[in-house]
Amino acid sequence: MAEFDTDLFVIGGGSGGVRAARIAANHGARVMVAEEYRVGGTCVIRGCVPKKLLVYASHFHQEFEDAAGFGWTVTPPTFDWPTLIANKDREIARLEAAYTTNVEKSGARVLKARAVLEDARTLKLSTGETVRAKYVLIATGGAPNHGAKIPGIEHVISSNEAFHLKKLPRRILIQGGGYIALEFACIFAGFGSDVTVVYRGDNILRGFDEDVRTHVRSEMEKEGITILTGCTVTGVDKHGDSFTSHLSSGSSIASDQVMFAIGRHPNIIGLGLDKAGVAIDAKNGGIAVDAFSKTSADNIYAVGDVTNRVNLTPVAIREGHAFADTVFGKRQVRVDHADIPTAVFCQPEVGTVGLTEDQARAQFALVDIYKATFRPMKATLSGRDTRMLMKLVVDGTSDRVLGCHIVGDGAAEMVQLLGIAVKMKATKADFDATMALHPTATEELVTMRTPSARHVRAAAE
């Protein structure tokens, strides 16, 4: 009788777990994947993919409005929320089936069950089956975190439920100031909802470049979204089909829906980590791992949001791939978490890679800032009151471009490509030597010649 039932047991069928399973199987390993909900995980089922579909849908209201300036007469359009949700659900079901098929084609076995560790090598499934595994990969992702218990917290939804609302809320209050909160704020505003954003900090998008934070807030407020900072929701009352949210500032706001998007926590509860000797990182609350995603248990690894390192889908995929190559491909692969491009699909869109201005000034003696804000060409005929932001953060000593930040249409697509330049350590001179492509918004990045600011760090610092 074989000592192990499988070479690799993956807990979680999300992006990181699926990639690890497929690559490990390609290396010849016997692989099992347990997923208790739906294969595809947060990104495919209740995250980036359905959210981006809703973002696309919400953009149409601006397109209809802008069309008049270009000579189009558009009959007043109508929007049907149930139709969008039904079409979205069909696409997600198709993707889930594709993910499952691809895992199975690789030779891995997919188990629709919850798996819990009984020790470092033994897993108990909700089906009653027990599996012995040589290696275990934990890729259970994260879950919405509503924060401290407040009166009426049971009335609050997360982004998970927002994808399945039976009807479009006429008024919605969203607490949070990060990716998810702002993206949903703009989605609902695009469909005509009255949106209020409540955030505890002094400004939205904590951790992003200050110019980006200011610019996005200004543009969102132009579109009628109310943003209240420096306060929190302290209680929610339900009155039939509506709600009253009480704020720490003393004011109250009526709405038809209340959504919290204040963060996510690693999905580690009830996995049996203590029985397996898997330690939790005291600082971030995720599973503690080394540079190769190994936990404190020698045969157990963890990737993706459950480690709470960099919670982005492409990062989980890269970590899962690296794990499989290291353990089953017999070549050590370490994931580089520096200079990761990221986007916020709010309106206007944000794309960013590398250091913010504040981060650069804290690390480098001389920092040059190149910045341009301008009205995009499309707005000249549409008449829309909007501006784009382009910003480069440059090491004034080496001339290396340390960071690039864009706010405006297509920002994410631009920054994916700019991420290559930043990763290759391109200099401002390299940007200057690149011929502009006209007329585009991106040409600003290669035509900005004079720094808008130069910061010299004092010797005492």
User: For residue 127, how many other CB atoms are within 10 A of its CB?
Assistant: 12
Active site residue 438: yes
In Å, how far are 59, 103, 132, 146, 357 from 208, measured between CA atoms? 24, 36, 44, 22, 9
Tell me the two tokens of residue 144.
């919405």
Which residue is catalytic, options 246, 265, 438, 455? 438
Contacts of 460 (CB under 8 A, 6+ apart): none
**Active centre residues (catalytic):** 438
